[in-house]
Amino acid sequence: MRLLITLLISSFTIAEAYFPGNTWETRTAQESNLNEEQIDKLFDLTFSDQATMGAVLIKDGYIVKEQYADGFNQDSYGTSWSTAKSFYAALIGISLDKGEIDSLDDPVSKYVKEYGTAGKKDITIRQILNMTSGLEFPSHEHEMMFFEDDHMEYAFKVGMESEPGEKFQYNNVNSMMIGEILKNATGKTAKTLIDERIFSKINLTNYTAWEDSAGNTLTYCCLDMSARDYSKFGLLFSRDGNWNGEQVISKEYVDESLKLYWGSTPSMGWSHSDTRGYSLQWWISKYDDQAKIYNTSGKFGQFVFVDKDRDIIFTRITKYYPSGGEVQNFGPLRFLKFLGSVNAALGVSRFLYDIGLIDFEKGSVQTPYTLAEGESKEFYEKYVEIVDTMATLESDET
């Protein structure tokens, strides 16, 4: 009875908290008990990188500050790249809540027959989500999968490299398998599920969820939306999976997602992953007595930071020009998959864009794509300072 009363009180408290609807209310730094100088420092650090398209700071559900580069505004779409991993992984938690998936420790083969082979049959859903499956791990981290017509066919062909659970390897095939697990557990694609089970619950209606040309949801990447809408997902996790009184995702799964599973992870060159932990497709940016801050993370610098204890969200996205559509069609760029290198594919495609042979905004190619102007450098270099600044935003902490 005491537990029930506690849950009811908690639910009532969350329902009384502010949640954005079709509009988003604002508060000043002073009203939010935040230090204006630290806020300015956070945004100065963020916009010192010319790749930054937009950034939004939210406290207690209210927008405290937002800023956009010239030519962009609060409605401009960014693309997520791997930030989408955290979004789609939340659907696993909802399927657990609904009893469609029995346990994170179920073997993937229980839901995906292609994993019934020797070696793969012991891989668990938890290991997929925690990047410890032991699947083959090439230098491009299976980013070349992005250029395939059928990403799932590519994913199924990937063999084993090590014993499941043995080591952390940031492998895009792990995240691509989320969609197949969900489809076989629920009968619906991840694209349908994320709309029905998350976005429709948090008033998120303007977005693009990309599929490949075979109809597979790209669950390892590729959600397009505004900085504000990315922030809504961060707010959902900051509020223990509850949105305006409705438990969208169980608190237990949110807690599990934001638990320090890997205390540190191998450096990946383009990021400060060696300073971060990892758990269930979330990065742990800071985990000490000062603050516990978590983030989604995308290849070229897309982040949703969540300081759950302080109910602070900070979202940053990079410059992006939507190509239209929601199904990948590389058209004249189909040859890119034969280059065998992500850097080579980027270099060639950007060159063709620069000389006017390819136009990503007029539909000759339909896919998420980041031009050189949207690729971060300074933000990554200042990543630790940015996280530490976020940890000292409250007025009495500077």
Can you give the pLDDT of all 398 residues of the chain as single tens digits?
444 444 444 444 555 899 999 899 999 999 999 999 999 999 999 999 999 999 999 999 999 999 999 999 999 999 999 999 999 999 999 999 999 999 999 999 999 999 998 889 999 999 999 999 999 998 888 999 999 999 999 999 999 999 999 999 999 999 999 999 999 999 999 999 999 999 999 999 999 999 999 999 999 999 999 999 999 999 999 999 999 999 999 999 999 999 887 665 665 554 555 567 899 999 999 999 999 999 999 999 999 999 999 999 999 999 999 998 999 999 989 899 888 888 899 999 999 989 888 887 777 889 999 999 999 999 999 999 999 999 999 977 65
Query: What domain range includes position 166?
Result: 2-329+366-397
Q: Which amino acid is at 135?
A: L
Contact (Cβ atoms closer than 8 angstroms) between residue 244 and residue 257: no
Q: What is the pLDDT of residue 276?
A: 79
Q: Is the entire prediction scored with pTM above 0.95? A: no
In a domain, 359, yes or no: no
**CATH code where residue 278 lies:** 3.40.710.10
In a domain, 354, yes or no: no
Which of 137, 177, 358, 391 has the alpha carbon at shortest distance from 268? 137
Q: What is the pLDDT of residue 12?
A: 45
Burial status of residue 251 (CB atoms within 10 A of its CB: 0-12, 13-18, 19 or more): middle
In a domain, 221, yes or no: yes
3-class secondary-structure state, position 160: strand
In a domain, 7, yes or no: yes
- d(CA 141, CA 341) in angstroms, rounded, equals 11
- d(CA 231, CA 222) in angstroms, rounded, equals 16
Distance of CA 86 to the CA centre of its chain: 4
- d(CA 131, CA 170) in angstroms, rounded, equals 6
Contact (Cβ atoms closer than 8 angstroms) between residue 249 and residue 197: no
CB atoms within 10 A of CB 199: 21
Q: What is the pLDDT of residue 264?
A: 58
- d(CA 356, CA 349) in angstroms, rounded, equals 11
Contact (Cβ atoms closer than 8 angstroms) between residue 14 and residue 242: yes
Q: What is the pLDDT of residue 263?
A: 63
Q: What is the pLDDT of residue 266?
A: 60
Q: E strands, 118-228, where? A: 208-209, 223-225
Which of 229, 237, 234, 241 has the alpha carbon at shortest distance from 204? 229
Report the b/e string of 218-242 with b at 16+ CB within 10 A.
Answer: bbbbbbbbbbbbbbbbbbbbbbbbb
In a domain, 100, yes or no: yes
In a domain, 187, yes or no: yes
Q: What is the pLDDT of residue 11?
A: 47
Report the b/e string of 178-198 with b at 16+ CB within 10 A.
Answer: bbbbbbebbebbbbebbbebb
Contact (Cβ atoms closer than 8 angstroms) between residue 163 and residue 123: no
In a domain, 246, yes or no: yes
- d(CA 68, CA 125) in angstroms, rounded, equals 38
Contact (Cβ atoms closer than 8 angstroms) between residue 145 and residue 155: yes
Q: Indicate the number of domains in the chain.
A: 1
Helix segments in the chain, DSSP class H: 2-16, 36-47, 83-98, 125-129, 151-157, 172-186, 190-197, 227-238, 251-257, 342-354, 378-381, 383-390
In a domain, 352, yes or no: no
Q: Are strands 246-247 and 242-243 parallel, antiparallel or unpaired?
A: antiparallel
Q: What is the pLDDT of residue 267?
A: 57
Which of 320, 74, 186 has the alpha carbon at shortest distance from 66? 74
- d(CA 201, CA 244) in angstroms, rounded, equals 9
Rounded to a whole number of angstroms, the distance between the first and last alpha carbons of the chain is 42
Q: Which amino acid is at 296?
A: T
Residue by residue, DSSP assigns 59-108 as ETTEEEEEEE-TT--TT--EE-TTHHHHHHHHHHHHHHHHTSS--TTSBG
3-class secondary-structure state, position 246: strand
- d(CA 168, CA 86) in angstroms, rounded, equals 17
Question: Pseudo-torsion of CA 294, 268, 299, 252, nearest 10°?
Answer: -30
Which of 302, 289, 294, 310 has the alpha carbon at shortest distance from 258? 294
- d(CA 356, CA 29) in angstroms, rounded, equals 45
CB atoms within 10 A of CB 347: 13
- d(CA 242, CA 128) in angstroms, rounded, equals 25
